Amino acid sequence: MTTTTTERAAAGAADYLDQRTGIGHAVKEFARKTFPDHWSFLLGEIALYSFVVLILSGFFLTMFFVPSMALVTHHGAPNTMDGVLMSEAFSSTLHTSFEVRGGLLMRQIHHWAALLFMAAIVTHMMRVFFTGAFRKPRELNWLVGTLLLILGLGAGFTGYSLPDDVLSGNGLRITDGVVKSIPIIGSYMSYFIFGGEFPGDDIIPRLFTLHILVVPGIILALVGVHLLMVVLHKHTQYPGGGRTDKNVVGFPLFPVYVAKAGGFFFVVFGVIALMGATMAINNVWNYGPFDPSPVSAGAQPDWYMLFLEGSLRLMPGQTEYVIGGFTLSLNILIPAVIIPGLLFTFLFVYPFIEAAVTKDKNEHHVLDRPRNVPVRTGLGVAFLTAFIILALAGSNDLIATHFSLSINSITWAFRILFFVGPWFAFWVTKRICLGLQRKDRELVLHGHETGRIVRFANGEYIEVHRPLDEQERWLRVNYTAHRPLEIEPATDSRGVRRKGYKNERRLARLSRFFYEDRVEPVTPAELAAAHAHGDHDELGSSESHGEITSGTQH
Amino acid sequence: MKALAARRHHRLAPVVLLLLALLATGGVYALLAPSPASADSANVQDIETGKKLFQANCATCHGINAEGSDGVPSLVGVGAAAVDFQVSTGRMPMQMNGPQAIEKPAQFDAEQTAQLAAYVASLGDGPAVPTADQVDPSQGDPASGAAIFRTNCAMCHNAVGAGGALSEGKFAPSLMHTSATNIYQAMLTGPQSMPVFNDANVTPEEKRDVIAYLMEQREGSAGGLTLGGLGPVSEGLWVWVVGLGLLVGAAVWIGAKSS
């Protein structure tokens, strides 16, 4: 029979491989690996799969792209570019778009996949941040992830600049300005990067090597590390009945997740292909070949760089100083170097700050509900608010034309909002979190409102409350509300000043900021007490009402 | 000659010479300068009707003789092209004061507009309404038009003419629905914040090339939906809405089918 032949062949091949590579162990290990189930755990997969799509489509594009700034006269489609003098890079981009079969589709797939890659990374990072998945033992993986985010920005930036159109040249010119704004080494750095005065002849070939070899190579290696660490640490899981820091509740990798994740790859590829086929992106022939003079209205970078653009647009230009013949361009240095520096530093150090203010050395595999860590959630929302305000400020001209507003007022509004917005967002978020926690307490202690109003014989009305079931209760009480650090006094028992007291006091102050306002989870004792006095909720077993009812009954 | 020689040191001699030189320059200019085609076809009847229309609808701001006033431009010498542009796009008569006069449905029909234009043109020479030939996109070269548009227009109107913001609520409008004649007139007369691109600056042929390039944009993009032609911001918006929207939807669906 054919089946047995196939089976025998497959078994033979598997055995051959196993005897030579020992792959059987790995398969056994992986196939049984358990993964918890939640849709938000697929966000990272979107990023991974769009990266695969990027590599596939990028491979195709390198077959036709010529990374050269030599000037040629372009002949052929589109007719708006026929007979125009341009770089070979731009000409080959047009050639890929209009002459190569499927070339434009591949370009568009590549660009949409890049935008989606970054969007998925950011969303995945939001999930990890707000659920506290960066806590021990995953701090290092958070760092790898943040590095991946920055490398993603680098890959996007280098790729955006390759076609050598006006828009990408504008972006490079801004980069040049930013590099030059760095004190002392700025001009040397700029000459070093561009191989002389901007734009030079070297930048496109250099960016090409970075874009197709160095950056994706590092990304690929770090993705490997990132995934390896996921396997080593095991996946985190959302809180719920029976889930602890010592187990993983979910399904085995094989067959459930192989099917789900494998299928999801095709969904991601499909959505990107659909976008690439129907929605035009980066039509470089509209922008024309790069020339340092024109800058068109609506000249903006891709969305993940918009915050930098916005930061530059918001900064008042008067802050440029000439000191002893040297120019100090604070108008560029602050918005384009210092502000992004601060934002990324926050991302890098946050897990360590939280570890320090909690002094928590335990491993955590059960995720936090964002409401249960109000200050972290608030800080995350404040960070996003700053990021979004900057991105919106980078689109201020489009906001002006589309909402009939004055660009000057918008810019001023964003200047103020950049400082006020994050504080306000922090405060509101923290309040909402505390409110939700109080509601949880309330629910655990008193149960669900049922809407059933019961009237006692004495005329008293009560609403019947249904107690929470075990699963619901587990979710709401099973968390730690950290308390501010308590430090030992400034002097020891002999009245000698203690070393490191000042640092500890600083840490304690920070810890107070984090955990001063908190809502403690309901303890079993509190629950018991609530049930004792709340018996009236359950009709029939009521004692206190019993007396009154008997007294007033006719 | 002797009398002339005797008076050449007269203290008024420089003044007389200067006057003569000015006269000569002016005369030569009048002879050699490109004479803007004026509305020849406009007959006296049109001018008369136009004057009545003007006095009823425009004179409140522009003055009874179109001489203008504080903050309102004089219309003497603006030419028929300017009137046709402003009136046929509905910008004039102006609806209200604002950062700039905005487009609205035209308040006058083609005939009335022509009469108004004829009247204003009769007040002083100015650029005339372009002929159909001058604005015919099929005779233009879109590649040259793209180059001119990039260097002269795109910084306000965006790379494909989708429009852009100016200071204090002013804006460069989208050119996606502007008629070829209006585009030509705008370049010629420089309405509102727009600079004038006269025929020495951008030749009539080049203006036609620009129109050819802009008309090309209306055919859409080879890549699919243009998303407004606004560039990376709208692309970013769409990747979040469509791309991530669909995929998060799919993730929720996959996550929900847990067993």
Q: Which of B172, B224, B252 sits opposite A297 (nearest CB)?
A: B172
- Which residue does chain B place closest to A85, by CA atoms? B147
pLDDT at B175 over 70: yes
- Which of A398, A409, A412 to mutate against chain B (most B CBs within 10 Å)? A398
| Contact at CB, B146 and A84, closer than 8 angstroms | yes
Residue scoring higher pLDDT (A385 or A4)? A385
What is the number of CB-based contacts under 8 A between chain A and chain B?
205
Mean pLDDT of all residues belonging to chain A = 90
What single string gives the DSSP state of each residue in A469-492?
A: -HHHHHHHH-S----------SB-
Residue scoring higher pLDDT (A69 or A22)? A69
Residue scoring higher pLDDT (B11 or B241)? B241
Helices A306-314, A339-358: crossing angle, 10 deg rounding: 110
Cα separation, B168 vs A400, in Å, equals 9
pLDDT at B155 over 60: yes
pLDDT at B8 over 50: yes
Region A200-220 average pLDDT: 96
Region A406-427 average pLDDT: 96
Cα separation, B3 vs A94, in Å, equals 77
Cα separation, A175 vs A158, in Å, equals 11
pLDDT band with cut points at 50, 70 and 90 for residue B195: very high
CB A463 within 8 A of CB A508: no
Largest pairwise CA distance in chain B:
121
Q: Which residues pair with A453 in a beta bridge?
A: A463
At residue A544, the pLDDT reads 40
Region B138-142 average pLDDT: 92
At residue B35, the pLDDT reads 55
| Contact at CB, B255 and A39, closer than 8 angstroms | yes
pLDDT at B152 over 70: yes
pLDDT at A16 over 80: yes
pLDDT at A554 over 50: no
pLDDT at A77 over 80: yes
pLDDT band with cut points at 50, 70 and 90 for residue A550: very low
The answer to whether the complex's ipTM is over 0.85 is yes
Cα separation, A119 vs B242, in Å, equals 12
User: At a CB cut-off of 8 Å and minimum separation 6, what does A64 contact?
Assistant: A92, A95, A96, A100, A103
The number of CA neighbours under 13 Å toward the Cβ of B105 is: 1
pLDDT at A319 over 70: yes
Q: Which amino acid is at A288?
A: G
- Which residue does chain A place closest to B144, by CA atoms? A80
Name the percent of chain A in helix, strand, coil, to the closest 5.
65, 5, 30
| Contact at CB, A282 and B172, closer than 8 angstroms | no
Q: Which residues pair with A454 in a beta bridge?
A: A462
Cα separation, B212 vs B232, in Å, equals 25
φ, ψ of residue A366 to 5 degrees: the values are -95, 130
- Kindly report, residue by residue over B45-67, the tens digit of the pLDDT: 888 899 999 999 998 889 888 88
Helices A339-358, A501-515: crossing angle, 10 deg rounding: 100
Cα separation, A141 vs A147, in Å, equals 10
The domain spans of chain A are 1-32, 41-243+252-301, 431-552
Cα separation, A335 vs B21, in Å, equals 59
How long is chain B? 259
Cα separation, A208 vs A68, in Å, equals 9
Cα separation, B219 vs B142, in Å, equals 13
Per cent of chain A over pLDDT 90 is 68
Region A26-36 average pLDDT: 81
A397 contacts in chain B (CB < 8 Å)? 164-165
Region A364-368 average pLDDT: 93
A41 contacts in chain B (CB < 8 Å)? 255
Cα separation, B185 vs A8, in Å, equals 82
User: At a CB cut-off of 8 Å and minimum separation 6, what does A25 contact?
Assistant: none
At residue B77, the pLDDT reads 87
A84 contacts in chain B (CB < 8 Å)? 143, 146-147
At residue B205, the pLDDT reads 93
- Which of A86, A115, A401, A405 to mutate against chain B (most B CBs within 10 Å)? A401
User: At a CB cut-off of 8 Å and minimum separation 6, what does A411 contact?
Assistant: A313, A314, A393, A396
CB A169 within 8 A of CB A291: yes
In a 3-state reduction of DSSP, which class is residue B206?
A: helix
In a 3-state reduction of DSSP, which class is residue B72?
A: strand
pLDDT at B259 over 80: no
Segment holding A448, helix H or strand E: strand A448-455
Residue scoring higher pLDDT (A247 or A541)? A247
Kindly state the tokens that stand for A26: 């790995």
Q: Which of B159, B163, B240 sits opposite A119 (nearest CB)?
A: B240
For A68-215, strand residue ranges (E) read 71-73, 85-87
Domains along chain B? 44-123 (1.10.760.10), 137-217 (1.10.760.10)
Region A520-543 average pLDDT: 69
| Contact at CB, A123 and B244, closer than 8 angstroms | yes
Q: Which CATH number fits domain A41-243+252-301: 2.60.40.10, 1.20.810.10, 3.40.1190.20, 1.10.274.50?
A: 1.20.810.10
- Which residue does chain B place closest to A74, by CA atoms? B143
Q: Which residues pair with A462 in a beta bridge?
A: A454
pLDDT band with cut points at 50, 70 and 90 for residue A277: very high
Q: Find how far residue A22's CA is from the centre of its chain.
A: 38
Return the HEC string of A11-48.
Answer: HHHHHHHHHHHCHHHHHHHHHHCEECCCHHHHHHHHHH
At residue B248, the pLDDT reads 95
Region B146-155 average pLDDT: 93
Q: Which amino acid is at B3?
A: A
| Contact at CB, A294 and B150, closer than 8 angstroms | yes
φ, ψ of residue A293 to 5 degrees: the values are -80, -50
At residue A325, the pLDDT reads 86
Cα separation, B92 vs B104, in Å, equals 9
| Contact at CB, A42 and B259, closer than 8 angstroms | no
Q: Which of A97, A264, A300 sits opposite B231 (nearest CB)?
A: A300
CB A297 within 8 A of CB B164: yes
Compute how many other C-beta atoms are within 10 angstroms of the C-beta atom of residue B258: 13
Out of A50-59, A272-281, B96-105, B156-165, which region has the weakest mean confidence (pLDDT)?
B96-105
Cα separation, B36 vs B128, in Å, equals 7
CB A414 within 8 A of CB A421: no
In a 3-state reduction of DSSP, which class is residue A213?
A: helix
Cα separation, A358 vs A366, in Å, equals 17
Out of A71-75, A197-201, A417-421, which region has the weakest mean confidence (pLDDT)?
A197-201
In a 3-state reduction of DSSP, which class is residue A101?
A: coil
CA–CA–CA angle A194, A345, B245 (5° rounding): 85
Q: Cβ-count burial of A185 within 10 angstroms (0-12 exposed, 13-18 middle, 19+ buried)?
A: exposed
CB B100 within 8 A of CB B89: no
The alpha-carbon gap from B50 to the nearest alpha carbon of chain A, in Å, equals 34
Cα separation, A332 vs A177, in Å, equals 8
At residue A64, the pLDDT reads 96
Q: Which of B158, B247, B256 sits opposite A296 (nearest CB)?
A: B158
At residue B229, the pLDDT reads 83
Cα separation, A177 vs A171, in Å, equals 10
| Contact at CB, B244 and A120, closer than 8 angstroms | yes
- Kindly report, residue by residue over A149-184, the tens digit of the pLDDT: 999 999 999 999 999 999 999 999 999 999 999 998
CB A193 within 8 A of CB A203: yes
CB A134 within 8 A of CB A148: no
Q: Which residues pair with B224 in a beta bridge?
A: B221
φ, ψ of residue A184 to 5 degrees: the values are 65, -60
pLDDT band with cut points at 50, 70 and 90 for residue A2: low
At residue B1, the pLDDT reads 63
Segment holding A534, helix H or strand E: none
pLDDT band with cut points at 50, 70 and 90 for residue A545: very low
Cα separation, A310 vs A414, in Å, equals 9
pLDDT at B38 over 70: no
Mean pLDDT of all residues belonging to chain B = 88
Q: Which amino acid is at A453?
A: I
Q: Which amino acid is at B223?
A: G
